[in-house]
Amino acid sequence: MILNSKLKSLLKSVGFITLYLFFGAILSQLKTYFPPQCERYAQGILGTIGVILTVIVFLKFEKKKPKDYGLNWEKLSFSRFGIGISLGIVLATAMMFSQIWYSNLELSLNEDVSLFPFLFWSLAFIPLAFMEEVAFRSYPLLALNKAFGFRITQLILAILFAVYHMLMM
């Protein structure tokens, strides 16, 4: 039986994410070699290695190049990264203040927290976010978007992203 192109794209995308999870599960065994306070950095670094291995497997399987998955460095890559980080900070700030504005929450200074250690540990979110972006916005996004269009692709990826996070709990 020959699978239609939509089902084939869906199965390959789910396979991509499954392989990423498989590599992540294997590599997560190496977290014990990192200091416990660096767990988020370890997870981000090992997860990034896992997603890179997944991309390599799919590049070989599909006979494609990294550029075909949107995984290439361009002149504007660094500035786009900066814009993305800035936009994320603005949106997170807007969400935080909207919660404060429309609820009984209040913002107060925590004297027990120092800014520089907070910023250092917050940087761990960069490799964590990078691995998720590559895992969900490279091959799966491109393959599903080609087969289903933008809206259905976003729905499928949102479901896969939610399932992924439920598995990570």
pLDDT digits (tens, 9 = 90+) for 24-82: 889 989 988 999 888 889 999 999 999 999 999 999 998 989 888 888 888 998 898 89
Q: Which residues of 127-149 are buried (b: 16+ CB within 10 A; e: fewer)?
A: bbebbbebbbebbbbbbbbebbe
Q: Which helix (H) or strand (E) holds 2?
A: none
The position carrying tokens 């070699």 is 33
Evaluate whether 82 touches 164 at the Cβ level (below 8 Å).
no
Residue 1: predicted pLDDT: 52
**What is the C-alpha separation between 12 and 133, in angstroms, rounded?**
17
**What is the C-alpha separation between 52 and 73, in angstroms, rounded?**
15
Domain boundary assignment for the chain: 5-71+124-167
Cα dihedral sign, 6-146-50-40: negative
pLDDT digits (tens, 9 = 90+) for 72-86: 888 998 898 899 889
**pTM, rounded to two decimals:** 0.81
Cα dihedral sign, 31-33-37-42: negative
pLDDT digits (tens, 9 = 90+) for 89-117: 999 999 999 999 999 888 888 888 888 88
